[in-house]
Amino acid sequence: MYACTKCDAQSLKWLGRCNECGNWGTLKEDGGASSSSVSPASHAKPTATLNLSAATITAAEHQKTGISELDRVLGGGIVPGSVTLLAGEPGVGKSTLVAQLAAAVSPAGQQSTAYYASGEESEGQVLLRFKRLGFDPAAIAFSNAVEVGGILAAARELKPAIVIIDSIQTMLLENAEALPGTPTAVRAATAEIISFAKSTGIAVLIIGQVTKDGNVAGPKTLEHLVDTVLTLEGDPDSSYRLLRAAKHRFGSTEEVGVFEMTERGMIAVENPSAMFLKERVPGPGSVVTCVMEGSRPFLVEAR
The total of structural domains in the chain comes to 3
- What residues make up the domain containing 275? 271-303
Domain membership flag for residue 58: no
> What value, to the nearest 5°, has the Cα angle with vertex 248 and ends 71 and 68?
5
Q: What is the pLDDT of residue 76?
A: 93
Residues 110 and 8 in one domain: no
Q: Give the per-residue pLDDT at 231.
A: 95
203 backbone dihedrals φ, ψ, rounded to 5°: -75, 140
SS3 188: helix
Please give the average pLDDT of every successive group of 10 residues along the chain, which has 303 residues.
76 86 82 49 79 77 91 94 94 93 74 86 94 89 95 95 94 83 88 96 93 71 92 89 94 93 90 82 86 82 85
- Nearest Cα residue to 134 out of 266, 259, 264, 268: 264
pLDDT of residue 42: 62
pLDDT given at position 80: 93
Q: 244 and 289 share a domain?
A: no
Is there a single domain that holds both residue 154 and residue 284? no
Measured distance CA(53)–CA(120) in Å, rounded? 48
Task: Establish if 37 belongs to a structural domain.
Answer: no
**73 and 166 part of one domain:** yes
* pLDDT, position 219: 65
Q: Which domain CATH number covers 75?
A: 3.40.50.300
pLDDT in the model for residue 210: 81
Stated as kind and residue range, the H or E segment containing 233 is strand 228-234
pLDDT score for 218: 66
Residue 96 parent element (H or E): helix 94-104
